[in-house]
Structures are given as C-alpha cells and as structure tokens.
Amino acid sequence: MSLMTIIYRIFFAFYYFFSLPIHMFRTRGTAAPISIKTLFIQKILGFNRSAHWPMHHSSLVTNPRNILIGKGTAPGLSPGCYIQGIGKITIGDYTIIGPNVGIISANHNIYDYRKHTIGSVTIGNYCWIGMNSVILPNVILGDHTIVAAGSIVNKSFPHGFVILAGNPARVIKEIDPALCNIFQNPYVYYGYIPEKWFNWWKKLFLNDDLD
C-alpha cells in the first residue's frame, strides 16, 4: 500500500468518524444500515476489516478488492455468509443476500487442489438470494432474479426476472417485469461509502478491472 493511499485512508477515517451520525440516520431502515456496533466489530476488532460495506462478524469475505457492490447492498450483513473474491464478483443495486449464502468465484483445480481455477460471478440489480443458497463460479444472474432457499446455482440465467430453486437450480416461475418495483433509497450509499465519494474510493482501493 502506497503512502498516498495510507494518507487517504486516514483522512477518510477522520471524515467518517465526525460525520457518523449523519450516515447512520441516512441509512436507517434500509437493507444496508450503518451502525456503531457493526463499524466497531469490523473496523476496530478487525472482522472483515477490508470490506467497504457492513458485514456480520460471523460472515467472511476474501479479497474484497475484487468485489464491486451496488447501491444499498451489503453481502454478508446477514450471518454466516462466505463471499470468496479470488475472482471478480459484481453485485448490483439493492440486491439482498440472505443468511448462510456462499458466493464462490473460483474452484479448486481438480488435478491439484492447492491451485484454483478462477472464474467470476455477476448478480444483477434487485435480486434476492435466499438462505443457504450457493452461487458457483462463472454464473451470471440477471436483474430481479430470486434464488430460493437452499438452491445451488451452477449455470447462468442472464435475462433475469425468474425464480430459481433446486440443486442444480432451475426456473420454477417467471416474474412479470411490469410488476417489479424499481425503488431508490433517499440517500445513496455503496456500503459505507456515500455516492459522491464512491468513484474516488473505487479508483484507489478496488482492482482496476472491476466495472
């Protein structure tokens, strides 16, 4: 980490500390609320410290520099999640991730378990990934995809507007796009980062090839 990056981190930490009540107020009642408890456990005690979004202490994220989250989403805020960022992971706006969900971007090489075969995962906007589901490498889920609890998703459904269930997951119902609510939070945050700061944050702290 460069000296300039460290200076930026210190500056941002001071800014955030003195403006924390504002961020807590603006995100209360959303799916990704900012709280003193979560910040203390994450940033002071060190559970998932590198993630720039709120996470539960029982969840685990690896390589968060490879993970791009959208507005109002916080993968791993529900307990027991595993977000494996060996490859790239992109999660869209206002997507909800339930408890004990696994999002896996790389598999072990079948000929040498010490190595990984790296892939990627893309989850669209306004998706809902149900409890105990697993999203495997190279899966693309389009907008408004619902994954039922306990499902294993091993192939892509890029067009979205479907409900998936089973092992392996398959389409059990299509969703009418005309009935879907395209909502926006009054104040836009990318995890802990206000919208006005996010492009700056992304250039400094996330990998360059995330888009």
Which pLDDT score is estimated for 211?
66
Catalytic-residue membership of 144: no
54 has pLDDT over 90:
yes
Measure the CA–CA gap between 108 and 124, rounded to whole angstroms.
25
In single-letter form, the type of residue at position 173 comes to K
Annotated domain spans of the chain: 3-205
Mean pLDDT, the chain, integer: 94
- What is the mean pLDDT of the segment spanning 39-51? 94
Q: Which of 108, 116, 144, 159 is catalytic?
A: 108
Paired sense of beta strands 170-174 and 162-165, if any: antiparallel
141 vs 3, which has greater pLDDT? 141
75 has pLDDT over 90:
yes
- What is the mean pLDDT of the segment spanning 19-31? 95
CATH fold group of domain 3-205 = UDP N-Acetylglucosamine Acyltransferase; domain 1 (2.160.10)
